[in-house]
Chains A and B, each alone.
Chain A
């Protein structure tokens, strides 16, 4: 199109034009290989860093020194509620709803206890029919049997070591909610309503160390609430 004498297309477009330059899509092709290398390096570097961090943490776990969270500050975290996060990656993970797999201090084997010993869920997690939190038994509860039973097993020896030191086993939560979702879950009304443990926690009798087999998102809860005709008012769970 003729736009008049003395005016170039590049003037109209403020200087940006394709004169003498490659087409836009071509830039991506040109930089794609170096970008790929950088991406791989970043992922590898990140995993290496994470691996190193975990090894360091497990070493701390094994020692009986006072253990801190991974920010490595010396003072214990305040139990006061705050929406602030310890780091950017923490905040990002929460935003994306990511929950990591916990590392348990002792490889507790659900399969043996449930299938072989025929223990019920509420035998150990006794708070479930009674209140909000199902709870986890203290080391004295476990030692009642394991003073004798399978005492030579290396995991049981770890258990006995905690008991001998007068410490409770630092179990890590498998199912939990981020605190600033302000969601409160009470086990007892669900047990009372006849909801089986496996509906939310999966078939734990097949698991050794407990892993999160279902992601307890709000959608997951709502599906069941809708199906059963139970209240879906906000303040039923968020208060």
Chain B
């Protein structure tokens, strides 16, 4: 046929297909019956409590009706439900004042993450192979109860252990009471970057085993030893808000901020003066400042109280800590020390902060006590512009029910692993609960956590996600995400008033998960015995209501005439905070006799001749300790100083790099006495020549599609060295050596490839 005829026929034939027309628009899905009705298209704002770090900020959750793709009873389909679309800070909340950090914003991705465990799982293959089958809740709970019943009734002490991320609020109380049904049950709280050294120092110096709250808004001089208080440390948003007021909220007065550390952190980049000092010598530096202040009578010599008595030589004016004596040890010139001391003492009010790597040394307690003494000397403790301790809720002991509850024995993860590996027979741990803790990833290999978990007969995990530790479980009973849960928290720091954050779920559960507190209440009821006696409530909501309704009688942000009205208003506001700034919470352990600390130098793991560099794994802004590596927004968030994303890298001083012929992006191999890792180099002028730093959080072997197999994990080469007094992990005390092993994976920078990288691409 002719070409034109072919074209004509094709056109008409094609048009004919469109005329058939009667095709349905849209897709046909099974729709489940909605369980809540919202006005479509109109947002409602509900209160919430953020769970992305331990600060306990208050949230506002924007909820709108939407279609969610869910699975119910094995059947996929759609359901109309109220879905959180945006998180913001609660403007009235005293911790964050309406602000929210990047991790808090990414909380949506915890709920909507495609890698969430949606249903109970039971292990089918060998432990560690990651082979699981989905089971129903009835079967799952029956299995759990069947495993627990012999442990509750027989007198087998220490058969049950609970490994968890640090629990706060009534969740902790509930777990403690649950464990009281089992003889000598143990609870291990795991937090890789915990601040137990600082809490111990505060206990010794001031009587409060608690993280401090800094009144930066009214401060005129801030010295921070290594604390990333604007990024990740303590209560970052509260500190940011205070810092903002200090710098821009008081007309004409910007105060002065000095940061002293060996690697420039995000916080340090804001400082007016940034001073490099050797890690582990910050205590000496603080005492040198104190020495100058005492010698030159720059402040009225007041009794430094208990804090002073912790330091040897206090009464004689700290003779061992003159600026000249500490200059070579710390790497800070005596003139600078003298000047700083004069400045902070005469520019009041001033406050000194310490946290992070300086306390993660073997002499961490010495450093913390030294800084406490300096604060006491400056008169900053309990005074405006200084440091405070958040008050306790005015609840007293009324929340304890009549049944006497034996608190479970608290144990460190390190000791737990040792115990599992060493004790066999009837005294061995038979069942381990894992709740949001991932020590297989985040603990030094020397602790033997992986080997220990292999030996436990039955492991139950409540995690939302399959991570390295949950992969070893036999039964996974997924908890709700925090936006789907009743949340309550009493923030440890960040406010000058007593605060309770509490909020109902902002959404119905997306998947077939169950809230951990309600699950434990259910299991306790089925077990009977002591566990059910200690947990008389039918639901977690009931427990919270019973516990917190007595706050109605204290003057606070919620006023009501009846208990029901109070509870209703409390739920709407997202929390309760006191009007009066009450007494700080008293610590429970007595201030016993304590030998004053003498000058203590840090000890390092690995001889300096073979391992010439100090290794500094730092808490990353995006992932903290690796928990948020599975949130793509956090992977995409540029690290503040390097702008690197989706990557792992080693920070190295440019002069050191030149000496070792290392160029930007070269693949390095870092070896410690305990392991090796490989990561590309990033040349940073903000790091001391003998320090190598690396952000923590990448290098997961199992953590969903965004995090698995990406980058390197600094934890795997850490020594298990402990801070000598408290036994907490001295994570900054490992030494490493470095070798260039080739042109490596490029670090992805959010600004796009630089010229240097393009050259490498061509190579």
> A-side interface residues toward B, CB under 8 Å?
31, 35, 38-39, 42-43, 45-47, 49-51, 53-54, 57, 60-61, 64, 66-70, 76-77, 79, 88-89, 92-93, 96, 98-103, 126-127, 130-133, 135, 138-140, 163, 166-170, 172-173, 176, 186
Contacts and interface: CB of A to CB of B under 8 A. Distances in A.
Nearest to B27: A69
Given A46-B13, A132-B42, A168-B79, 20 more contacts: A39-B12, A43-B19, A45-B16, A46-B19, A50-B23, A57-B28, A61-B28, A67-B27, A67-B28, A93-B21, A98-B18, A98-B21, A127-B40, A131-B39, A135-B39, A166-B72, A167-B33, A168-B33, A170-B29, A173-B26
Given A50-B23, A89-B18, A67 B30 contact: yes
Interface in B625-667: none
A50 B28 contact: no
Contacts of A50: 20-23
Of B9, B14, B20, B23, most A-chain CB atoms within 10 Å = B23
Given A69-B27, A92-B18, A170-B29, A79 B67 contact: yes
Interface in B58-80: 67, 69, 72, 75-77, 79-80
B31 A169 contact: yes
Contacts of A76: 27, 29, 69, 76
A210 B42 CA distance: 26
Contacts of A67: 27-30
Which of B9, B16, B32, B79 has its CB near the most chain A CB atoms (within 10 A)? B16
Contacts of B18: 89, 92-93, 96, 98
A167 B77 contact: yes
Contacts of B40: 127, 131-133, 135
B32 A70 contact: no
Interface of B: 5, 8-9, 12-14, 16-34, 37, 39-42, 67, 69, 72, 75-77, 79-80
Given A39-B12, A43-B16, A66-B75, A167 B30 contact: yes
A172 B8 CA distance: 37
A76 B20 CA distance: 25
A170 B21 contact: no
A87 B758 CA distance: 40
Contacts of A66: 29-30, 75-77
B25 A127 contact: no
Contacts of A131: 39-42
With most chain A CB atoms within 10 A of its CB, the pick from B12, B32, B33, B69 is B33
A53 B24 CA distance: 11
A57 B24 contact: yes
A87 to B, nearest CB: 10
A113 to B, nearest CB: 20
19 contacts: A35-B9, A38-B13, A39-B16, A42-B13, A47-B20, A49-B20, A53-B23, A61-B28, A69-B27, A76-B27, A76-B69, A100-B21, A102-B25, A132-B40, A166-B32, A167-B33, A168-B80, A170-B31, A176-B26
Nearest to A48: B20
A140 B13 CA distance: 47
Given A66-B30, A127-B41, A163-B33, A38 B9 contact: yes
Contacts of B25: 99-100, 102, 172-173, 176
A77 B25 CA distance: 13
Output the residue of B9, B14, B25, B42 with the most chain A CB within 10 A.
B25
Contacts of A173: 25-26
B76 to A, nearest CB: 6
A158 to B, nearest CB: 14
A70 B37 contact: no
Contact of A172 (B17, B21, B26): B26
A126 B39 CA distance: 8
Contacts of A138: 33-34, 37, 80
Contacts of A42: 9, 12-13, 16
Nearest to A130: B39
Contact of A100 (B5, B8, B24, B75): B24
A100 B23 contact: yes
Contacts of B30: 64, 66-67, 167, 170
A167 B32 CA distance: 4
B338 to A, nearest CB: 62
Contacts of A89: 17-18
Closest 8 CB pairs of A and B: A50-B20, A132-B41, A133-B40, A168-B31, A67-B28, A46-B16, A131-B42, A42-B16
B20 A186 contact: no
Contacts of A92: 18
Contacts of B24: 57, 70, 100, 102-103, 172
A26 to B, nearest CB: 15
Contacts of B41: 127, 131-133, 186
Contact of B28 (A69, A126, A140, A166): A69
B22 A140 contact: no
Nearest to A70: B23
A233 B31 CA distance: 37
Contacts of A61: 28
A206 to B, nearest CB: 22
A82 to B, nearest CB: 14
Contacts of B20: 46-47, 49-51
A125 to B, nearest CB: 10
A69 B29 CA distance: 8
A68 B28 CA distance: 6
B33 A140 contact: yes
A103 B24 CA distance: 7
A101 B41 CA distance: 25
Nearest to A38: B9
Nearest to A176: B25
Nearest to B5: A31
Given A38-B9, A39-B12, A130 B42 contact: yes
